[in-house]
Amino acid sequence: MLHVIGIKNCNKIRDTKNWLDEKGVEYEFVDVKKEPLSLEEIKELEFKVGLDVLVNKKGMTYRNLGLKDKEISTEEMLELLEQNQSMIKRPVLIKDEAVLVGYDEDAFTGFIKEDNED
């Protein structure tokens, strides 16, 4: 089952869900405002895609926390992500062990295609 992780009222999440619905793709949506990811889940995502991909450095939360010019260890950033899950780039698509981060319809197509070859 495909899992889409994000925030319900995010435009990118809305666009992602619309795209998946149009393609007839079944998925489960996880709203991190209602069901926050655990630190272990965040660490697993970071292991698979890296902090540069996972952290939304253009978002308001990142800017409001004043993180732009700070030296932050991986461990500190993971804890910040756990406490501020709106700082996770959206959407996060998870299928089995595969993870895709960010809105990209071409990447979605490849990701879903792999899913249908199972």
The string of pLDDT tens digits covering residues 83-99 is: 999 999 999 999 999 99
pLDDT in tens, 60-73: 999 999 998 899 99
Q: How confident is the model at residue 114 (pLDDT cuts 50, 70, 90)?
A: low
- Which CATH number is correct for 2-116, 3.40.47.10, 3.40.30.10, 3.40.50.300, 1.10.150.20? 3.40.30.10
Helix 11-22 / helix 105-116 crossing angle, nearest 10 deg? 40
User: Is residue 55 a contact partner of residue 88, using CB atoms and an 8 Å limit?
Assistant: yes
What are the domain boundaries of the chain? Answer: 2-116
User: Is residue 85 a contact partner of residue 36, using CB atoms and an 8 Å limit?
Assistant: yes
pTM of the model: 0.91
Helix H or strand E encompassing 5? strand 2-6
User: Is residue 5 a contact partner of residue 100, using CB atoms and an 8 Å limit?
Assistant: no
Helix H or strand E encompassing 61? helix 60-64
